[in-house]
Structure 1
Amino acid sequence: MNDLSTAINYERVCDQSLRKVEETAKPRSNLYTYFSLLLGSPHELVLESKIKFNDSILKGLPYTFEISDLIKEYSETEIIDLKRQYSALFEVGDEGPPAPIREDLFLSQPAKLREDLVRFYDYFGYTLNDEFQWQMDHLSIEIEFMHFLIFQELESNDNKLSFQLGQLDFSEKHLVNWIPDLSATINRLGSGDIYSKIVVELNNFLLIDNNWQKETINSIHKTGS
């Protein structure tokens, strides 16, 4: 059987008994929110209040993951240092940023990448403010989109599967396709600053979450095919 006939004769389903949406969606979406905030540009965000961690909002997470120490270190870093470290790692360099935080730039602007992002965002009803349209491929925004999909999965009554498959597809096409390489690049740079630690931990989290998603989703033969 070739790949085309396989795609035609099989459909993907989610094992809701493993997914346990009512238990797992909120803590998963909260983790994505934390990482989106941690990787947002300190030049654009209001950081005076910093990020406060509450371990109770991760209750029900379907795997073990620790983020409290990372948030504590981030919150204890002066804003001026956050801005300096962010710019040095993600924005400036003699030959461009040492570690670009935008997917399009990190992957050397592959054809139709931004068009694919637009299709994902439009299909699922995710709207960016005008000031963020130009950087729709920014890592913080892509992670925020995952939070959005998980939240919609929880809220939806009759379209949960669409949001579940959307999470897996987006994660594989626009996160785990480049974040491991970004993490490896940062490890080679060896700066040891807070943003380096955040990306390394994000990579660990994405791989864990992606594997968990795949465990809950199966391909089954279509009846009558």
Structure 2
Amino acid sequence: MGRLDGKVAIVTGGAMGQGAAIVRHFVAEGAKVVIADIAKEPGQALADELGGSTHFADHDVSDQASWERVVEETNERFGPVNVLANNAGLLRFGDIERMPVDEVELLWRVNQLGCFLGMQAVTRTMRKNGGGSIINASSVEGLAGMASCTAYAATKWAIRGMTKCAAMELGPKGIRVNSIHPGMINTPMTRVHGGDAAMEFGASRVPLRRVGYPEDIAPLYVFLASDESSYINGAEISIDGGVTSTHAFGG
């Protein structure tokens, strides 16, 4: 307990699934957390449940003005933000020859542009207040390929690359930037694409023979947000039950 005492965090996509688990773990370790999401009802319910250490902010990660409002609101309510969990994202599958352009653009706007705008929005505050930690959610699809996943994977490879560049640019300012690469995680975002059958198929391809859960991912966010990881910058950390160690991945 207390590993994040004094930390002020923004968690995007924090209302449900993986994001909600990150919020819960951050609060349990002493952080003040702004739950930033377009899902108003579950986001506010989570903030009400967790009490004064949290605040819900209606937030569209693809909108620059929305980012400016959230950072300003966080700074005013809890003090200077020093942790950003760029967790919000969308998953869409589609064959190259048939995927609508508007879906490709939506993935880009939420996953890639949203991540960039988040880094841009917090940098000034972090730089002026001694640094911070930015944790960007990529995916195992940011490490290898998968059929029918070209548009989604493009955004996750981009996040991986942006993280490397940002780590080099922002490291001298005391801001660490790392990417995490979850595998198949049992969340509302993934379950909508096949439910139990998809989870069972995903588990069959994992060396540990199970899919992951949000509670498997959140402790890594705590570590990267904490001072325990003070010399980790520009890293890409897979958390996938071993799937990216196999030749079968992406087949």
Fold equivalence (TM over 0.5): no
Of structures 1 and 2, the larger Rg is shown by 1
Specify which structure has the higher proportion of strand.
2
Relative contact order (alpha carbons < 8 A, sep ≥ 6): 1 or 2 greater?
1
Specify which structure has the higher proportion of helix.
1
Task: Report the TM-score when normalising by structure 2.
Answer: 0.30
Task: Report the TM-score when normalising by structure 1.
Answer: 0.33
